[in-house]
Amino acid sequence: MHVASPSGVAAAAAPVTPSVSEETSAEEGSPAKPGAAPTAAPPVSPAGLAACAAYILRGNDTGELITAAPRLYPHLWSWDAAFVAIGLATVSVPRAVTELRTLLAAQWRTGMLPHIVFRSTSDYYPGPDVWDCAVAEAAPAVARTSGICQPPVHAIAVRKVLDAGRRRGGADRALAEQFTAETFDRWLAWYRWIGRARDPQQRGLVEIYHGWESGMDNSPRWDAGYANVVPALDLLPPERCDLRFVRDATQRPSDAEYRKYLWLVHQMKLVRFDEKAMRDRVDFRMADVFMSAVAAVGSEVLAEVGDELGRAEAAAELRSLASRFRRGVLSTVSPVTGLARDRDLRTGAWVEEPTIGGFAPLLCGGDDAVVRRQLRLLAGPQWCGHPRLRYALPPSTSPDSTRFAPRTYWRGPQWPVMNWLVCWALRRHGAHELAGQIREEALRQLSDLEFAEYYEPFTGEPLGSRYQSWTAAIVLDWLLEPYPS
Ligand code: 9WN
């Protein structure tokens, strides 16, 4: 695997405490200069980088919750909150616990954790009035939320909070242990819901009814599914809120895509977000292989926590869920490419696009030969070893794909949070060397102090939102968690 050197973080000679410049602090997604070369990364020590990351999380903390980003995403997103808690656990166990509690307070009566928990004020579209989840029988009374879900990475956060509490000892240990024991059944209900409501036929594959549920909204993974979505109403507002903050529209989904996103929300609302009715009545129904892998590994991690709490029965149930999803993921692997594939459940067609979602087996494991092949692929020339990459990190879509778009959201850019998740999974499977290389490259990329949502893979230009909370959070974990070198 190609690893550029030297590492800007590790090799920074002078331990300069970085200051955030006017230019970087001014705007998220400040007017883009397409094709502009990024400025050289400032020298920054690991301690300086960690301090900046903590500062960003502090800045995005409303007290109520930590927003996913300061302006573009002024609410709490489900999987963002899990990553945020992972980062927070390194600096404040109580604050990490609060974040997870805020999410749990919005849990639906079915067990679903909603993809957005809205704050009282909103500068985001579609906001709580558009979602109007009060029409749903299962929606919580105490919080305004969206009516769909996101990948269930939360058990990883619970594990991290528990481990951090134990490492720190004293009151942190007591709090983390009490929190875990007290909330275990709520997390269990969430993973059970995924198994029951989103895999009703027990294929071992999580069904999604909106690209937003995957967390990879406009990835080429969903192009075939969206081809069947034909809005009968134009629900696009006169002004796209997101484009106020990311002014280069090529970095975001298009208007045509947004019309489909809003149409699906409308369809769900018509059936009052009833999970069975959504399956039949919404135009989009895909088996999401990456989310299935997250469900597998999440269930497994929660089962390990269950063991420690003496919850043997729940742990066995979670393990059987994990093996069902693992089998499902492995059943999708293409013998030709070695990548796992999503499936359009309306047409039965496999999705063959080479995206980061194809590495689902690296997350959940289950077949050593498949995992070994994926490790080679990941390090190879279509992915981290692509000769044009500025940093040797996996792009969201392979540059060899005809649908690759280097500046457009999930269609090409590198996502720091994905790098973290891949790295975490590699360590879990003992692939420490590759994990270490990805961590080092990612920290080098993030030494620009932009804490961007995603990066142009060839130039390293920061794109989308700046000061994104999960980007800051994973930096904290990487720098402050005791990892083997
Ligand atoms: C829609 C918050 C979220 C992430 C998603 C990412 C993006 C929202 C949007 O931002 O999605 O849910 O408005 O584009 O795709 O993964 O959770 O960071």
Answer whether the bond into residue 74 is a cis peptide, omega within 30°. no
Global pTM value: 0.93
CA separation for the pair 315, 322 (Å, rounded): 10
Instruction: Give the domains, in start order, of the chain with CATH numbers.
Output: 37-480 (1.50.10.10)
The three-class DSSP label of residue 35 is: coil
The verdict on whether 217 is a catalytic residue reads yes
* Torsion region of 245: left, alpha or beta (phi above 0 gives left; psi -120 to 50 gives alpha): alpha
Q: Would you say 142 and 152 are in contact if contact means Cβ atoms under 8 Å apart?
A: no
The three-class DSSP label of residue 261 is: helix
User: Does the beta carbon of 28 lie inside 6 Å of ligand 1?
Assistant: no
pLDDT in tens, the chain (485 residues): 222 332 333 333 222 223 333 223 333 433 334 344 455 555 799 999 999 999 999 999 998 799 999 999 999 999 999 999 999 999 999 999 999 999 999 999 999 999 999 998 768 999 999 999 999 999 999 999 999 999 999 999 999 999 999 999 999 999 999 999 999 999 999 999 999 999 999 999 999 999 999 999 999 999 999 999 999 999 999 999 999 999 999 999 999 999 999 999 999 999 999 999 999 999 999 999 999 999 999 999 999 999 999 999 999 999 999 999 999 999 999 999 999 999 999 999 999 999 999 999 999 999 999 999 999 999 999 999 999 999 999 999 999 999 999 999 999 999 999 999 999 999 999 999 999 999 999 999 999 999 999 999 999 999 999 999 999 999 999 999 877 76
Distance 212 CA to ligand 1 centre (A): 7
The token duo for 340 is 């796992």
User: Does the beta carbon of 68 lie inside 6 Å of ligand 1?
Assistant: yes
CA separation for the pair 454, 98 (Å, rounded): 27
Catalytic residue among 213, 300, 453, 456: 453
How many other C-beta atoms are found inside a 10 Å radius of the C-beta of residue 243?
16
Task: Classify burial at 137, counting beta carbons within 10 Å of its beta carbon; exposed 0-12, middle 13-18, buried 19 or more.
Answer: exposed
Phi, psi angles (nearest 5°) of residue 196: -80, -55
Catalytic residue among 80, 217, 274, 477: 217
Report which of 58, 107, 102 is spatially closest to residue 76, judged by C-alpha positions: 102
How many other C-beta atoms are found inside a 10 Å radius of the C-beta of residue 340?
27
- Tell me which residue has its CA closest to atom 8 in ligand 1: 212
The verdict on whether 22 is a catalytic residue reads no
Report which of 184, 162, 185 is spatially closest to residue 175, judged by C-alpha positions: 162
